[in-house]
Amino acid sequence: MNVLITGFDPFGGEPINPAWEAVKAMKDEIAGATITKLQIPTVVNKSIAKVHEKMLELRPDIVISIGQAGGRFGVTPERVAINVTDARIPDNEGNQPIDEPIFADGDAAYFSNLPVKAMVQEIRNAGYPSTLSNTAGTYICNHVMYGILYYIQKEFPNVRGGFIHVPYAVSQVVNKPATPSMAIADITAALEAAVKAAVEYEQDIKVIGGETH
């Protein structure tokens, strides 16, 4: 089995992106699956295009993109991506789409077909905070998650894919009082646990993962 894991380059004035720092430190094999790592740009369209190109080349069984969600407490697999980009800040090339569809011929939303609740459980079992997230935002993270699932529906029907958000790294919150963070090594271990669940569970588990708001 082949698993493609992507992580973004730094954005928003941050010196690092904990998503890529954690991804590049991941093991090359997890639960018997070969792990391929890919850095992608925090840029509208180019990010999706780079993932799509690698999917065509590698023909992976699973695709998981990792992104930074500064302010979140734990590692959070995403349930759904929506067909809109509404950028609060410009991307790394100055693009700032507002209320624009990601793919004009795409569905309003796509749900991850990964075992997201099993992934949350596996992360927690490994000793790290995790919850299921029901919003990937409207910036490049949602943009890429939607793109992955769009291409899965259109071109790769046997592939499973989704997205995981991670908190700031510790070094990023030195001047951000009371902001949650995790050590890169801990983010890496949590991601490895999530990938293990993605590889081992063909069907998701039936446990409570919802929120009241």
Residues serving a catalytic function are 78, 141, 165
Q: What is the 3-state secondary structure (H, E, C) of the chain?
A: CEEEEEEECCCCCCCCCHHHHHHHCCCCEECCEEEEEEEECCCCCHHHHHHHHHHHHHCCCEEEEEEECCCCCCEEEECEEECCECCCCCCCCCCCCCCECCCCCCCCEEECCCCHHHHHHHHHHCCCCECCECCCCCCHHHHHHHHHHHHHHHCCCCCEEEEEEECEEHHHHCCCCCCCEECHHHHHHHHHHHHHHHHHCCCCCCCCCCCCC
